[in-house]
Amino acid sequence: MLEPIKLNSDEVYIKATIGAATYPSDGKNARALIYCAEIALINSNEHIEVTYYDDEMQSSSERNLKLEAELHHAIENNELEQCYQPIVDLKSKKIVGIEALLRWKKNGCYIPPAQFIPMVEEIGLMPAFHLWSINSIEAALTQWSAITHPFHVSINISPKLFFSTNFSNKLIELSATHANKVRIAIEVTEGCLIEDMKRGVEILTMLNKKGIQTTIDDFGTGLSSFSYLKNLPATTIKIDKSFIDELASNKKSHAIVHSIIQLAKNIGMTVVAEGVESQTQLDILTQLDCDSIQGFILYQPMLGDEFYQVYLENTDAKA
Ligand code: C2E
Ligand code: MG
Ligand code: MG
């Protein structure tokens, strides 16, 4: 468990990640060992404190370098696709929103967002990718004439972009243009906010005043304390898929999901369960009075045209 350090009135968490190499199997001199330890560090993740080098990392690092180089041309080569996954109200069974999810199709194969999004962030391309997404969403909303309230479009914002100065201008413009039929919401994770809670609250409050809502994504997986919920102008909590996966099989997960739903309701927030795959999970969430769900049991992420057809059928709206 990480112990916070007090800095004036703020609590700061410090984490260390270590890449390690073993003598003599990974290298017979300091230079070779440091090189392997650096590769291990690149391949480490935030949940593991010490990552040891293995030969597979070398080839995966080379693969990643190649992908990073290719990402620079993804937009000009028309390799990005904007997908949308419906969010459904559990009582009315109506689609009440969508999450915008990016896809990168390289040589006919989809590279998973969990792999390429951190790279986009790392190599500084996120502002360009974000702009591409906003422009696609803008074009789609202009076409989807039958969409009406209540309907929101949720857009994921990665941590570096969130704290950069002008990511919000385009969002505010998008929100203002389509305010008559949709709300724009941004999805941020607890991990993103914990970097600088004070500024995070300032940014979200400013956006809130412009009509942009906030969803806390992957709720329950960060290290933050509950007290931050008090200060955030957030409207929605998204329960992380890891809790939903174990909803039927693990009593503790069931209790946690139950408590999150109660907590959200008690503080006036809406709650969405993410990653719902089975009828049993759906039944339990209905029983627990969860507001809405997003998951493969109802809909997978899909391209805009397909989504609009699904929306028209689900809501009996006329195009
Ligand atoms: P996320 O924001 O938590 O998005 C939800 C992820 O859960 C999506 O994965 C969605 O396809 C997946 N999902 C939803 N329901 C189910 C289900 O029933 N079963 C399973 N197995 N998965 C389900 P996806 O599209 O692969 O995206 C992964 C992550 O990549 C997202 O997690 C988000 O953090 C990031 N991401 C995707 N698109 C964007 C984007 O445009 N911008 C940014 N900054 N991040 C993005
Ligand atoms: Mg999300
Ligand atoms: Mg999520």
SS3 264: helix
189 and 309 belong to one structural domain: yes
Do 43 and 88 belong to one domain? no
pTM equals: 0.86
Q: Which of 318, 310, 259, 305 is nearest to 97 (CA)?
A: 310
pLDDT of residue 88: 98
Q: Is the same domain home to 49 and 84? A: no
For 171, the 3-state DSSP assignment is: helix
Helix or strand (DSSP H, E) at 157: none
- Residue 69 located in a structural domain: no
Name the token pair of 149.
């309230």
Do 28 and 97 lie in one domain? The reply is no
Residue-range definition of the domain harbouring residue 239: 80-315
For residue 217, the CA-to-ligand 2 centroid distance in Å is 5
pLDDT value of residue 171: 95
194 in any annotated domain: yes
CATH number of the domain enclosing 173: 3.20.20.450
5: buried, middle or exposed (CB in 10 Å: 19+, 13-18, 0-12)? Answer: exposed
Same domain, yes or no: 31 and 90: no
Q: Which residue has the tokens 């929101």?
A: 152
41 and 87 belong to one structural domain? no
Among the listed residues 190, 158, 150, 157, the one whose alpha carbon sits nearest the alpha carbon of residue 291: 150
Residues 197 and 306 reside in one and the same domain:
yes
Task: Give the CA diameter of the chain.
Answer: 71
Choose one of 83, 85, 101 to mutate for the ligand 1 pocket test, by most ligand atoms within 8 angstroms of C-beta.
Answer: 101
Strands (E), 168-209: 183-189
213 and 162 together in one domain: yes
How much distance in Å is there from the Cα of 190 to the middle of ligand 3? 11
pLDDT for position 133: 97
Question: What is the reported pLDDT for 2?
Answer: 62
How much is the pLDDT for 224? Answer: 66
pLDDT average per 10 residues of sequence, the chain (319 residues): 72 81 92 88 79 84 85 96 98 97 93 93 94 97 96 96 87 95 95 87 94 94 77 92 96 96 95 97 98 98 98 89
Do residues 48 and 103 share a domain?
Answer: no
Residue 104 domain flag? yes
Residue at 41 is within a domain: yes
The total domain count for the chain is 2
- 93 lies in the same domain as 207: yes
- Which tokens in the block code for residue 132? 């591409």
Write out residues with Cβ below 6 Å of ligand 1.
85, 100-102, 112-114, 117, 133, 156-158, 187, 217-218, 274-277, 294-296, 301
Cα–Cα separations (whole angstroms), residue 18 to 43, 121, 231: 10, 21, 34
